[in-house]
């Protein structure tokens, strides 16, 4: 997978409560393929990570506040899960707007487990074929999505997966999808 994403910038939007493996493994796959990643959040400093939602799993440093970032600076967006993480993001207008604007831009967006909750709040689930962790599938259906129980699903510019068990397939697919998209950010973007 080396080199497919050279020069591309990927935003990773997350908050306290992010499921560690759902940020760490996709980020590693993207960076191994040559992407530059930035963790964006709703507060600066660090965000608290979790294992299985319940166990402390250290922290991730925040590179930028989502309110200071723009869609034009990035080629793709990753939305990891964890139950608390997307619930916090849904309550922040700047995070909701960033997700909505990214999806509407046509650039690739990937989300796993509870991460697709962000699509509900951003009102971009309607008419999309998505998968997610089972507990949020009713919310996605109520928001107008066609919900399926598959390892990884790509519908247009959105790729979704169900859980950490799907990470190998999810990571491979997002590298593929992110590489397919035109590069618009990268060189000359903000750091």
Q: Which residues are catalytic?
A: 113
CA distance 170 to 185: 23
CA distance 61 to 76: 19
Between the alpha carbon of residue 119 and those of residues 47, 83, 143, the distances in Å are 21, 14, 9
For helices 20-32 and 167-180, give the axis angle rounded to 10 degrees. 40
Across 56-65, b (16+ Cβ under 10 Å) vs e yields: ebeebebebe
CA angle 108, 113, 118 (to 5 degrees): 60
Q: What are phi and psi of 122, to 5 degrees?
A: -80, 0
Helix (H, G, I), strand (E, B) or coil at 46: strand
């Amino acid at each position: 997978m080396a080199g497919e994403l050279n020069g591309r910038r990927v935003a990773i939007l997350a908050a306290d409560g992010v499921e560690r493996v759902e940020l760490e493994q996709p980020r590693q796959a993207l960076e191994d393929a040559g992407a530059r990643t930035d963790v964006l959040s709703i507060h600066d400093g660090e965000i608290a990570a979790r294992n299985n939602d319940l166990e402390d799993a250290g922290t991730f440093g925040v590179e930028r506040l989502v309110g200071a970032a723009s869609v034009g600076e990035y080629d793709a967006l990753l939305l990891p899960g964890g139950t608390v993480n997307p619930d916090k993001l849904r309550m922040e207008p700047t995070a909701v707007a960033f997700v909505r604007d990214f999806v509407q831009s046509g650039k690739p967006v990937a989300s796993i487990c509870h991460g697709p909750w962000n699509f509900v709040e951003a009102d971009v689930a309607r008419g999309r074929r998505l998968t997610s962790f089972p507990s949020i599938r009713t919310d996605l259906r109520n928001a107008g999505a066609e919900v399926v129980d598959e390892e990884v699903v790509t519908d247009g510019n959105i790729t979704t997966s169900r859980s950490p068990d799907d990470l190998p397939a999810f990571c491979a697919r997002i590298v593929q999808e992110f590489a397919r998209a035109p590069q618009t950010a990268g060189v000359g973007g903000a750091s």
